[in-house]
Amino acid sequence: MRLANHDGRAVILTDDTTGFDVATASEGRFGPGIQGIYDDWDAFTAWAAGASGDSVSIEEAKLGPLTPRPFQSFGVGLNYADHVAESGMGTPDALPPVFPKFQSSIAGPYETVELVPGGKTDWEAELVIVVGRKAHKIAEGTGWDYVAGLTVGQDLSERVTQLQPPSPQFGLGKSFPGYSPQGPWLVTPDELPNRDDLVITGELDGEVVQSGHTGQMIFDVPSIIEKLSQIVVLQPGDVIYSGTPSGVGFTREPEWLIQPGQTLTTTIEGIGTIRQTFV
Ligand code: ZN
């Protein structure tokens, strides 16, 4: 199943350009907004398997984030070996480095993002995980059972704030308005030929700046869920940005950062493409 947040309402896609409204088709049992659907995800997917409804045309400009109001929103750092190497940091071992991507930074897939004046804004193409079941101290190897679906995201990062002394500010540096775009829709794992290994690509003004695949993750999707759940209680509708492959801008010589007027495009195999323009 592919699920969109279209004009503030949950819509199940029937193809790339059409779908049907969840609240209308379910006579109010689910929706109209997308966030509440995750609270009753198992019942929703059981209903959705046999559901249909009047056709709604999908308009790109009306697509919003898949988790507009998550209970919790996380980012995972240093989760691809080649990105660890370019960052010059150590490789995580027992626990992935985790920081908050505060809720007010979450944006839809095709929005204009205002660059932080005087800052250094960088790209980080990422697979985004949406939680579908409460998870606390879950068993190793069971993480996929707690995933509602996957989407495409950018962990946009303002490096001056992020790395300022005396203590790095990963949460704040990555949480300016619009700095956590996601979309264009949620794809349930069963739709993907290989949910554990998806090609992920980032392009700046049409030039490929990042190219990797999610099979390279140090902590894979089920492992991220399992590790986080040992400490926090994950709730349905929580969102996790799962880390970026190599090719970010701030480690290049010379530094390469997003400029006003540029367009950033991020694509994940089997899911879709998001696009930000910057002012
Ligand atoms: Zn990141």
In the reported structure, the alpha carbon of residue 25 is separated from the centroid of ligand 1 by a whole-number distance in angstroms of 37
Question: Among candidates 185, 188, 187, which has minimal Cα distance to 17?
Answer: 185
At residue 10, the pLDDT reads 98
Q: Ligand 1 centre and the CA of 73: distance in Å?
A: 13
Distance 135 CA to ligand 1 centre (A): 22
Give 268 Cα–ligand 1 centroid separation in angstroms.
Answer: 15
State residue 43's pLDDT score.
98
Q: What does the pLDDT read at residue 165?
A: 95
pLDDT for position 179: 98
CA of 174 to the centre of ligand 1 (A): 8
Q: What local confidence, expressed as pLDDT, does residue 68 receive?
A: 98
Contact 66, 132 (CB under 8 A): no
Q: Which domains does the chain have, with CATH numbers?
A: 2-62 (no CATH), 73-278 (3.90.850.10)
Give me ligand 1 centre to Cα 14, in Å: 31
Report the separation in Å between the CA atom of 269 and the middle of ligand 1, taken as the mean of its atom positions. 19
Ligand 1 midpoint to CA 168 (Å): 14
In the numeric block, the tokens 């984030």 are attached to 65
- β-bridge mates for residue 73, sequence order: 239
What pLDDT sits at residue 262?
98
Residue 154 confidence (pLDDT): 98
What spacing in Å lies between the alpha carbon of 98 and ligand 1's midpoint?
A: 9
Q: Which residues pair with 55 in a beta bridge?
A: 20
- Non-local (6+) Cβ contacts of 240 within 8 A are 73, 74, 75, 76, 128, 129, 131, 224, 225, 228
**Alpha helices by DSSP H, 90-220:** 159-163, 170-173
State the pLDDT at residue 182: 98
| Block mean pLDDT (10 aa), the chain, length 279 | 98 97 98 98 98 97 98 97 92 94 98 97 98 98 98 98 96 98 98 97 98 97 98 98 97 96 98 98
Q: How far is the CA of 83 from the centre of ligand 1 (A)?
A: 10
| pLDDT for residue 160 | 97
pLDDT at position 279: 98
Give me ligand 1 centre to Cα 29, in Å: 36
